[in-house]
Amino acid sequence: MTQEEKQLVFIDLCARLPFKPHVYIKDGKVDIDIDIVLNGTYIHEWLTYPSCQNITITPYLRPMSSMTDEEREEWADLFNLELDKLNEIDDEDKAEELAPYYFGKSHQVSIDWLNKNMFDYRGLIPMGLALEAKEGMYKNE
C-alpha cells in the first residue's frame, strides 16, 4: 500500500469513526477481524510511525450498487431537505447570499449519511483498499 493509498484510507476511516466501522487488520503475522471503533490515535500511528508500516487496516464497506430503493430515496430526501430551505427564502438577495451555505450543508448531510451507512462513495473497493461488507454486517447499527 502506497503512502497516498494509506492517506486515502485514513481520511475515509476518520470520517466513519463515529459510526463504528468494521475493519480487517493484518500486522504481518496475524490477521484479525476487528469489530471495534478505531480511535484516531491508533489510525494516526498506523499512518505515520515506522513501527506500524507492516500493519494494514482495510475497512469493510458497502458498494454503492448495494443501496436499496428505500435507502436511495432516504438519501435523496436528506440531500434535498437543505435545498428546500433555500427555496423557502422570499428575499432573492438573501437567498443568493445563503445559497453557498445551503448547497454545502446538503452535501455535508449527504456525505454523513453515506459514511453512517458505510457506502463506498470513494471507490475504495475496486482499488483494493476496502473489502465488500458481508451481508448484514452493518444491520442494527
Taking only the tens place, the pLDDT of each residue in 92-136 is: 999 899 999 999 999 999 999 999 999 999 999 999 999 999 888
Give the residue carrying C-alpha cell 448547497: 103
What are the DSSP calls for 43-108, one per residue? HHHHHH-GGGTT-EEEEEEB-GGG--HHHHHHHHHHHHHHHHHHHT---HHHHHHHHHHHHHHHHH
Taking only the tens place, the pLDDT of each residue in 44-86 is: 666 666 666 777 888 999 999 999 999 999 999 998 888 888 8
What is d(CA 131, CA 123) in angstroms, rounded to the nearest whole number? 11
Torsions phi, psi of 11, nearest 5? Answer: -60, -45
Count CA within 13 A, CB hemisphere, residue 83: 10
pTM: 0.82
Residue 42 confidence (pLDDT): 62
Check pLDDT > 70 for residue 32: no
